[in-house]
Amino acid sequence: MIKKLWNDKRLREIFLYCVVGGLTTVVNYVVYFLFTRLVGGGGAQSPGLAALILDSSYQDASLAILGTLVAWAVAVAFAFYPNKRWVFKSQGGDTKREILQFLAARVVSLGMDVGLMALLVGACGLNDMLSKLIVQVVVIIANYFASKFWIFKRN
């Protein structure tokens, strides 16, 4: 039964995307955690270096957004090759175009990421780490559709 499921190209692609997306999420989450804890001095709720840069009334949300930007850059760099090669099996083709479209799609999902983090952490007062996890689920889904139907689509 597992072999039959694996032989279904659509299911295999979704499975591999979930694996790569999961690994990318781990990279994003770990970089976010390390950045906010190192720069923030113990968490978005107890800023260290951030206190020198940011107005105290905006430290929590601003540190969460800055951490999101740094984590995003590292995660995008990590995600391109596995998506191109293993998930969508894009061989040959115009790699430069794929990279530019990958970056463009990720910039759009970054806007979603930052906006939702600002909403959940800043406006709703939710824990930044829980918010990050929720937001990443939304971002992974959006990135799958962009990759499948725009970036790595087969002619």
Task: Convert the pLDDT of each residue in 30-73 to its tens digit.
Answer: 999 999 888 766 544 444 444 444 455 556 677 888 888 899 89
> For the stretch 128-145, what's the b/e string if a residue is b when 16 or more beta carbons lie within 10 angstroms of its beta carbon?
beebbeebbeebbebbbe
pTM over 0.85: no
SS3 127: coil
Crossing angle of helices 9-40 and 128-146, in 10° steps, is 140
Instruction: Write out residues in the chain with pLDDT < 50, as ranges.
Output: 43-54
